[in-house]
């Protein structure tokens, strides 16, 4: 069972108290704030020299005979004969006499049959974060291809000519990379300050996949529900381990899961990562924005189009984060500012996880930092608990959490066995709604380290009972160093009323 941010909304015990009770699934009033997507990916048959763009859900994990995958190209809205507002149809045609597949803006083109029907509905004008879909033609090879948006593919040297017809716009995808930079090349974009460096994954919404301090990498990346990332949910949509309305920064349960995952293992060419819309790193400041995907896409059907294993569901709001390294000249502190943009006002309770931090299993010690019941200017020290890791309940067969509540200014910390390397999350109360959690998986023989099953985690989360349309901004602080340093830096944050 994958360990997702949704669990923080559900079964976090705090000295015998359930923080957030849940009810059976209700009618989801937020379904219209979502959009089901088709994944366009490109195949190639070398024996007949044919490039073939097709939605993944047409074939699932089975590739057409003779074709190999070249990877994902775009997310475009799912549709039928009725066009969603602001979109246009995209068809898949085939010319048998020259063995050529091509995308088309019309269902009928001379010499071609409507082989694939409606493959989706790209946006008719550019939406933030989208790229134009281009078609190219090679007369010698009698081959059309739809070009990759990242890195931008320019097949002129291979004898292709660009078609200037408008085929619409889609969210760029990253071929067959589980981890990709914003420019489309494999790997992670790095950003940081004088001591701390993080690596973000554009293929997964810009979530933080690595954090390195003093030579050690801290983060667990077993699936797209780990990392350092933002999540959000409608409390009433949660039941058991599932939340039907649970936007998640990195992606959904069908991300690049490890082969020992309880979720269906997915290779990168089928994986669902959230579409990133912005990335920048300059002057010790990292900014990213994404349209997060619903973690359980199969639980909702926006506009009648069901999500699922080959159809991610995009939340129409956005998650943005701004990380300020070396905050106020303190190299061990990162200010982590989350901005959640709600597409509509909502009257029911929603919970914001800002952020959750999934660490490798070696961070086996856990502490609570209590900054005081009121802000006390000039009082230099908060209090630090003993190791709380053994206090985490063991009732769940997979993953358990201990809630830490009632802190006006404080947080939670995880350290390795010697307390030489620690990471803490600090936050002060926001309208009397701030909680923290420390969690861990049970060892199931599925590995440790960056890509192993076992993880030790931290989170800070808030609940708001009414949400206005527009931006909700929440500030937290990541503090990294030895336990002595982390406590000292949290003292500084408390005294200075951060």
Task: List, for residues 239-267, the tens digit of each pLDDT value.
Answer: 877 888 999 999 999 988 666 555 555 67
Predicted confidence at residue 375, as pLDDT, reads: 54
Residues 106, 205, single domain; the answer is no
User: Per-residue pLDDT for 158 more than 80?
Assistant: yes
Q: Which domain holds residue 17?
A: 5-30+177-495
The last residue of one of the domains, among 175, 210, 236, is: 175
Q: Does residue 433 register a pLDDT over 80?
A: no
Q: How many angstroms separate the CA atoms of 165 and 106, rounded?
A: 11
pLDDT at 346: 85
State the total domains in the chain: 2
pTM across the whole model: 0.93
Q: How confident is the model at residue 298 (pLDDT cuts 50, 70, 90)?
A: very high
Q: Is residue 18 located within the same domain as residue 40?
A: no
Q: What is the mean pLDDT of residues 356-367?
A: 97
Is the confidence at residue 171, as pLDDT, over 50?
Answer: yes
Q: Are residues 239 and 369 in the same domain?
A: yes
Report which DSSP code applies to 57: H
Tell me, yes or no, whether 146 and 188 share the same domain.
no
Q: Are residues 22 and 51 in the same domain?
A: no
The CATH code of the domain that includes 238 is 2.70.98
Whether 199 and 169 map to the same domain: the answer is no
pLDDT the model gives residue 409: 84
- Minimum mean pLDDT range among 13-22, 270-279, 347-356, 409-418: 13-22
Lowest-pLDDT range of 301-305, 416-420, 485-489: 301-305
Residues 228, 355 contacting (CB under 8 angstroms): yes
Same domain, 47 and 19: no
Same domain, 357 and 264: yes
Mean pLDDT calculated for residue range 23-52: 81
287's enclosing H/E stretch is: strand 285-290
The owner of tokens 């803490």 is 424
Q: Are 313 and 294 in contact (CB under 8 A)?
A: yes
Q: What is the pLDDT at residue 428?
A: 85
Residue pair 169/133 in contact by the 8 Å Cβ criterion:
yes
Domain shared by 219 and 156, yes or no:
no
- Together in a domain, 205 and 122: no
- Selection from 228-242, 251-265, 388-402 with the highest mean pLDDT: 388-402
Average pLDDT over residues 281-303: 95
Examine the fold and report which residue of 175, 205, 234 is the final residue of a domain before the chain moves on. Answer: 175
Tell me how far apart the alpha carbons of residues 83 and 269 are, in angstroms, rounded to a whole number.
Answer: 27
265 shares a domain with 289: yes
**End of a domain among 110, 141, 175?**
175
Average pLDDT taken over every residue of the chain:
89
Q: What angle do CA 288, 411, 496 make, to 5 degrees?
A: 85
Asked if residue 315 and residue 189 are part of one domain, the reply reads yes
């Amino acid at each position: 069972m994958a360990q997702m941010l949704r669990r923080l909304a559900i079964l976090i015990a705090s000295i015998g108290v359930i923080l957030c009770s849940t009810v059976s699934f209700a009618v989801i009033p937020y379904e219209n704030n979502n959009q089901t997507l088709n994944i366009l990916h490109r195949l190639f048959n070398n024996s007949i020299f044919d490039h073939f763009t097709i939605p993944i859900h047409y074939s699932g994990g089975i590739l057409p005979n003779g074709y190999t995958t070249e990877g994902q190209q775009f997310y475009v809205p799912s549709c039928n004969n009725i066009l969603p507002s602001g979109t246009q149809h995209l068809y898949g045609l085939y010319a048998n006499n020259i063995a050529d597949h091509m995308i088309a803006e019309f269902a009928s083109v001379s010499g071609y049959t409507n082989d694939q029907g409606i493959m989706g509905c790209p946006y008719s004008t550019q939406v933030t974060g989208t790229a134009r879909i281009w078609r190219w033609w090679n007369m010698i090879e009698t081959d059309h291809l739809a070009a990759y948006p990242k890195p931008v593919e320019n097949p002129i040297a291979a004898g292709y000519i660009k078609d200037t017809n408008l085929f619409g716009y889609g969210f760029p995808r990253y071929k067959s990379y589980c981890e990709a930079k914003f420019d489309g090349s494999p790997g992670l974009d790095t950003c940081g300050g004088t001591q701390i460096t993080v690596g973000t994954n554009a293929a997964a919404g810009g979530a933080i996949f690595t954090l390195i301090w003093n030579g050690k990498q801290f983060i667990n990346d077993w699936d797209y529900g780990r990392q350092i990332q933002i999540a959000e949910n409608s409390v009433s949509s949660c039941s058991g381990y599932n939340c039907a309305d649970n936007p998640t920064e990195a992606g959904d349960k069908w991300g690049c899961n490890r082969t020992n995952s309880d979720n269906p293992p997915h290779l990168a060419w089928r994986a669902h990562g959230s579409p990133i819309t912005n990335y920048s790193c300059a002057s010790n400041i990292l900014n990213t924005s994404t349209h997060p995907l619903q973690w359980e896409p199969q639980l909702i059907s926006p506009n009648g189009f069901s999500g699922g294993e080959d159809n991610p569901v995009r939340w129409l709001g956005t998650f943005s984060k701004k990380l300020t390294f070396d905050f106020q000249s303190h190299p061990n502190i990162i200010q982590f500012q989350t901005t959640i943009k709600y597409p509509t006002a909502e009257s029911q309770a929603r919970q914001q996880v800002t952020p959750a931090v999934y660490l490798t299993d070696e961070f086996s010690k856990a502490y609570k930092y209590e900054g005081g019941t009121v802000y006390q200017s000039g009082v230099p020290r908060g209090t630090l608990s003993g190791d709380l890791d053994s206090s985490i309940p063991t009732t769940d067969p997979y993953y358990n959490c201990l809630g830490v509540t009632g802190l006006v200014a404080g947080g939670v910390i995880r350290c390795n066995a010697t307390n030489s390397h620690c990471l803490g999350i600090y936050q002060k109360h926001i309208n009397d709604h701030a909680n923290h959690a420390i969690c861990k998986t049970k060892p199931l023989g599925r590995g440790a380290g960056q890509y192993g099953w076992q993880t030790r985690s931290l989170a800070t989360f808030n609940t708001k009972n009414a949400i206005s349309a527009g931006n909700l901004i929440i500030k937290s602080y990541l503090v990294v160093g030895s336990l002595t340093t982390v406590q000292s830096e949290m003292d500084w944050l408390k005294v200075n009323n951060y």
